[in-house]
Structure 1
Amino acid sequence: MSQAGSIDLTPAPLSPSTGSESGSLQTFRTWTIPRIIAQLRRKGIPYPATARKAELFRLLFPPTPNTAPSNPQTSLQSISGAISQLHSMVATLSATVSDVQTRVATLEARPLTPVHDTVVVSALASPLTGTPESSSTVIPAHLVSASLRKDILEGKDVNLASLLVSVHDVADNRAYAWGDVSVVVKSKDPRLSRKLTVTEFVLAFGMFRDIICSAAPNRREELDLYLHSVTDLGYKYGGHAFYDYHRSFSAKAAAKLSQFQAKTDWSICDTELFCRHFAGLRSPLCTLCQSSTHTANWCSDNSIKRPAYPPSSSTSQSLPGPSQQRQVDRLGRPIFFLGGAPICNNFNNAGCFHSQCRLLHVCTACHKAHPKTTCQLKQDSKA
């Protein structure tokens, strides 16, 4: 018998009909096997040779999952519910924002100063009983003369000693007249030529900084860093080398501004000037533990035996004290001290040839970076 005579009554899944064929699925079930095979070949669908009619029919019409048809009424109801919830959320948010605005307006209308702070401020601001009302505090920079203030703001080289001299304490100028000719001789104040100590420098430069910051507030940090670095040099090296460095730095900055219209960053150390003023001085190491983070007066290592000479609290010490007069070197020469550290006698006489000498290479007379044999102060005293 042929395959057309055998009919497979195995139920097949319902599938939608194709556009090239017409009729319902019940009509397709009555198709013969050759007709189904012809349709499979026309569509290019492979099939096994031993497949039965039900299998061939499933290959021609593959089963699709049964999906429940969507209900438009249900979709509209869900969308309407979501819109209602969104409207309720917007209404709640609007009410909350209105409440916050009302509270902010109430707080802005109410005074913000607490009761206790008001009492303290009023007690500090009220003058004492029987005394006139106190005036505003005048900072020291306002006591500087107008001409000196103008020179500072213009970037000129200013002697800091002039800031410490009161305007009313300046010597009067002398005027000489010969007929129609008159000459005014400005008096020279000897206080303007003296070198400032570290304390005087801090006081004078603080006034200098306040005058500059009154016109350029953004330079306060720059000038604070410069004040710290110069004061640190004065504390570590001693003497007046730090003030000589400041005078050279101020003159160089003024000349750079006048000649090239270029400003100088005061917070950066000038390496050339530093080497010029501090090259002959000993590195500021601790004489006990050789640390660069502190001096001998602040050394915390108690296990190290301290020297026989007591550390000096001042920045310079030209002659040894009574307890130091017995201190002599191996050649019988007296040992001089500067800031508690001994000064090299070889450097001040014939010259020091030790490459790793730990003594100070400064003059024993003026504490500058030259030997005593070439000291101008010594020559002036002999004259």
Structure 2
Amino acid sequence: MTATAWSTARIKAAVGGILAVLLLATVLVPTAAEAAPVAGGDRFTAVAPVRVLDTRDGTGGHLGRLWPPGPIDLVLGGESVPATATAVVLNVTAVAPSDLGNIRVFPTPASGNAVPLVSNLNVRQWTDQPNLVTVKLGAGGAVRFAIERATADLVVDLAGYYSPTGTTAYTPVTPVRMMDLRDGTGSVPVGRLEFKSWVDLQVRGRNGVPADATAVVLNVTAVAPFGPTNIRVYPRPADSASQVPPVISNLNPAGNGEDQPNLVTVQIGDGGKVRFYTEAYSTWLVADLAGYYSPTGGQGYTALDPARIADTRSGLGLASTLRAGVTSTLTVAGVGGVPAEATAVVLNVTAASPRGTTNIRVFPTVVGGAVPLISNLNVNRAVDEPNLVIVPVGAGGAVSFYTQSYDTELVVDVQGYFTP
């Protein structure tokens, strides 16, 4: 059932987002030249980020909050991306959820209303929650959004798409810190990013990112924001172009002392740089590199129907609670549709019922290796938090998980994988 049919019976809820903005009404299909396919999977085409759905104003053809049990379908194939696209990369934000709940993003089925046992966003009342989602396109080139228990407005921004003849392939890297405003890592100024200001980060030519890279994958964390804001990550515009930030968002920190991370796939802009902008209150920013896309990259992507491969609450995949200071490993090769030859996996990782404030790190398993100085999730006591992770497959076909300060339950859903 479409959102239009459901919304006639809905009471318009107050929008709890940070700022109201004018939004793009249409999205142009990217026209980038395409390249030869990679044998191991599909190639990626990055786009300048653009809004494709906003239920607050009808962008994308859906006006009105998402209610259970009625899902909404967003057609992207043949409209916002080419008809040949197999999967899309979306930043999905739940705005002003009415209660605790979760949002699931999955390929639109050819028939029926079955909802998979996965989750992409875990929401709480009146707190905006973003997460990056890499999702396979379903029937009619559409993806489906369903919500459990709560209601919420949805905002969706497109970052790129996979297709058999896309322009670039992926190269995963062992996660490494690329920017930290607290100490100047990345040759950026030391200091908080003030409201309505930006900082540019050189990504090409650093940390192994080559000169022909077209996009990077960064885990971006807002640290100790002074107040509610939205943070936007986008290609640095040329000096001769408009410097007005695009109408998108990547992080929506509440500003109540909680750090907020989100994975970001972003096209590289002028001078080999990407730009970070905060709309309202000031914050520290930290960015960790997960990988990059380039015409000479060697890894293609295969999208999967999302599947749960680990849940410490039931002993699935991981036998017990993730203990503070103890590394746990999860075999991903040969599980959930991931083949033995996979070199990296796309996982939605959720910290469930964390016992206190901690950071969680996801990295390729290395026998006897040290825990890297990165973070993927930054969580607080008793608050479920998700984040998308693209991580190389390590020793024994496994990836590792580590929580620094407090124990937590962990839920892992696989979305797809990369192969040479």
TM interval, shorter chain, is under 0.3
Structure with larger Rg: 1
- Higher relative contact order (Cα pairs below 8 Å, separated by 6+ residues): 2
> Which has the larger share of helix?
1
> Which has the larger share of strand?
2
Q: TM-score, normalised by structure 1?
A: 0.24
